[in-house]
Amino acid sequence: MAVRVNEHEIKKMESSRSKISGAKPKEELRSYNVTVPILKKKKKVISESVELPKFDFDDFSKLNFDEQTTMFNAIKEVFANLRENSQYMDMESYQNTYFGLIYQVLDLAVTGNVAAMDYLCYAYKKGMEGALPVNLTLAHKWGMLAIANGSKLSVDRLRMFFTPIFDYIENSDIDLDLMMTRNDILEGDAAFFVAETFAGLYNPKMEITLLAMAKEDPASEDSNFQKFLFDANKVRDQILPEMTKYLI
């Protein structure tokens, strides 16, 4: 079975706002709030007129690729509409609305919504003019959290990082057909299974957790992505031999 992220520390987070989305983990309903000051430079303004769509699933990780894509596009459309309407807004209103929406995405992400995690990966890779700077380090971390929790979309977003992993598996002695049979993997999902297994081993070593990510300021810029990527590649290469025993 794939190794999943162990987020015991997330249970320490207090919920000071109403429950959102109805997302449930395997054991119990989670409704956590980002209580740490993630918006250090921006007002915590949640626009009452602009909200994300509501999602209600017991286990987001069990959604297939198309279902995850539909959820991602629903979130993306809200931000696209904001961008189109920005010409009619002053800068302060635009930024407050944008970060209000990002705050909602963060709230969804810490309840286990993999589409929200994946959107944060996408958002930090692209940035948003006048609001969100490109931050490839945060994009990588949110993508790896999403993958560890079952996201299929984030695998493609981090494909350059995962290419050496897939090459390593293909050149190993692992019988991929047997791996899929033993783990009840559907045809075409082998790469996702490998990526999820890897992320479950990788994230703890890189100290990538939901609680740590909740503390990040959405408006922060990369301090040194090249240094982070060097460390990430080093950890990846160390994990690869260990990972094979989880796949056979």
**Helix (H) and strand (E) counts in the chain:** 10, 0
CA dihedral over 53, 58, 60, 63, signed as positive or negative: negative
* Predicted pLDDT of residue 177: 85
- Evaluate whether residue 228 is within a structural domain: yes
Task: Tell me if 25 sits within 8 A of 226, measured CB to CB.
Answer: no
pLDDT reported for residue 156: 93
**Cβ(170)–Cβ(244) below 8 Å:** no
Q: Dihedral (C-alpha) 122, 71, 55, 52: value to the nearest 10 degrees?
A: 60
Instruction: Express each pLDDT in 156-165 by its tens digit.
Output: 999 999 999 9
pLDDT tens, residue by residue, 67-94: 889 999 999 999 999 888 888 888 888 8
Whether residue 46 is contained in a domain is answered as: no
The rounded mean pLDDT for the chain is 78
201 falls within a domain = yes
Mean pLDDT of 149-155: 92
CA 82 to chain centre: 22
Count of domains for the chain: 1
Which residue range(s) make up the domain with 138? Answer: 64-247
Distances (CA, A) of 150 to 84, 132, 208: 32, 26, 16
Cα dist from 58 to 25, 61, 75, 112, 129, whole Å: 7, 9, 19, 10, 35
In a domain, 136, yes or no: yes
Closest C-alpha to 104, from 130, 78, 124, 66: 78
Q: How far apart are CA 103 and CA 120, in angstroms?
A: 11
User: Using one digit for the tens of pLDDT, what is the confidence trace for 195-237?
Assistant: 999 999 999 999 999 888 888 887 788 889 999 999 999 999 9
Inside any domain, residue 161? yes
